[in-house]
Structure 1
Amino acid sequence: MSSQQKALVLPKKQGSFELSSRSIPSPGAGQLLVKIQSAALNPVDYKIKDAGIFVTQYPAVLGADIAGIVEEVGEGVENFGKGDRVLAHGKFSNDFAAFQQYTLTDASFTAKIPASESFDSAATVPLGLDTAVVGLYGDQLGAGITRPWTKSTDADESKTPIVILGGSSSVGSYTIQLARLSGFYPIITTASPSNEELVKGYGATHFFDRNLSGKQLLAAISEVTDGPVKLVYDAISLPETQSVAWELLADNGTLVLTLAASVKENEGRGRRVIQTFAGPHAAQNEELCSSSWAMVEKWLSDGTIKPNNYEILPNGLEGIIGGLERMKLGQVSGTKLVAHPQETQ
Structure 2
Amino acid sequence: MSTENQTHQAATLPSKATALKTTTRQTPTPGPTELLIEVHALALNPVDYHQRDTGFFIQEYPAILGSDVAGVIISSGPLTRESMKPGTRVTALASSFFNAGVDYGAFQRRVLVPEETVAILPDGGAVFPLAAVTTWNGWVWAGLMPAATTSQVQVSASEEGVFVWGASSSIGALAVQEAKLMGFVVYATASGRHHDYIRGLGADRVFDYKDEDVLGQIVQAAGADGVRIRIGYHATGDQHLAADVLHALRGEGQGEKSKLAIAPILDPELKVPDGVEAAFVYPPQDRAELKERNRAIFVDWLEGKLAGKQVVASPHIKVIKGGLGSVNGALDELKAGVSCLKIVVEL
Q: TM-score, normalised by structure 2?
A: 0.86
Query: Which of 292, 297, 306 is equivalent to 1:292?
Result: 297
Query: Which of 235, 250, 256 is equivalent to 2:261?
Result: 256
Deviation at 1:13, TM superposition (A): 2.0
**1:194 and 1:65, CA in 2 relative to 1: closer, same or farther beyond 3 A?**
same
Partner of 2:320: 313
SS at match of 2:30: coil
**1:265 and 1:210, CA in 2 relative to 1: closer, same or farther beyond 3 A?**
closer
Query: Which of 281, 289, 300 is equivalent to 1:276?
Result: 281
1:123 aligns with 2:123: no
Asked if the contact 1:265/1:272 (under 8 Å) is kept, the reply is: no
**1:280 and 1:61, CA in 2 relative to 1: closer, same or farther beyond 3 A?**
farther
Query: Which of 133, 136, 140 is equivalent to 2:136?
Result: 133
Mapping for residues 328-339 of structure 1, pairs under 5 Å: 328-330=335-337, 332-339=338-345
Separation in 1, partners of 2:76, 2:328 = 31
Letter in 2 for 1:84: T
**1:98 and 1:148, CA in 2 relative to 1: closer, same or farther beyond 3 A?**
closer
**1:157 and 1:15, CA in 2 relative to 1: closer, same or farther beyond 3 A?**
farther
1:246 aligns with 2:232: no
**1:157 and 1:303, CA in 2 relative to 1: closer, same or farther beyond 3 A?**
farther
Deviation at 1:266, TM superposition (A): 6.5
Q: Deviations over 1:31-68 (max 9, x none)?
A: 11111011111100000011110111110111100111
1:105 aligns with 2:105: no
Asked if the contact 1:229/1:248 (under 8 Å) is kept, the reply is: no
Partner of 2:253: none
Query: Which of 320, 330, 334 is equivalent to 1:323?
Result: 330
Asked if the contact 2:146/2:296 (under 8 Å) is kept, the reply is: no
Deviation at 1:75, TM superposition (A): 1.7
SS at match of 1:249: helix
Asked if the contact 2:219/2:245 (under 8 Å) is kept, the reply is: no
Separation in 1, partners of 2:263, 2:62 = 26
Q: Deviations over 1:99-142 (max 9, x none)?
A: 1100111111111113xx1xxx11011001111111112xxxx2
Asked if the contact 1:148/1:181 (under 8 Å) is kept, the reply is: no
Give unmatched runs, 5+ long, in structure 2. 251-256
Asked if the contact 2:243/2:272 (under 8 Å) is kept, the reply is: no
Letter in 2 for 1:91: S
Separation in 2, partners of 1:222, 1:272 = 19
Mapping for residues 211-226 of structure 1, pairs under 5 Å: 211-213=210-212, 216-226=213-223
**1:210 and 1:133, CA in 2 relative to 1: closer, same or farther beyond 3 A?**
same
Separation in 1, partners of 2:234, 2:50 = 18
1:88 aligns with 2:95: no
Q: How many residues align?
A: 322
Deviation at 1:202, TM superposition (A): 1.1
SS at match of 1:60: coil
Separation in 2, partners of 1:70, 1:201 = 33
SS at match of 2:147: helix
**1:278 and 1:194, CA in 2 relative to 1: closer, same or farther beyond 3 A?**
farther
Asked if the contact 2:76/2:85 (under 8 Å) is kept, the reply is: yes
Give unmatched runs, 5+ long, in structure 1. none
Letter in 1 for 2:88: D
Deviation at 1:314, TM superposition (A): 2.1
Deviation at 1:176, TM superposition (A): 0.5
Separation in 1, partners of 2:284, 2:319 = 25
Asked if the contact 1:256/1:274 (under 8 Å) is kept, the reply is: yes
Identity value in percent: 28
Query: Which of 56, 61, 66 is equivalent to 2:59?
Result: 56
Query: Which of 301, 310, 318 is equivalent to 1:304?
Result: 310
Q: TM-score, normalised by structure 1?
A: 0.87
Letter in 1 for 2:181: L
Asked if the contact 1:155/1:182 (under 8 Å) is kept, the reply is: no
Separation in 2, partners of 1:281, 1:197 = 41
Separation in 1, partners of 2:216, 2:130 = 33
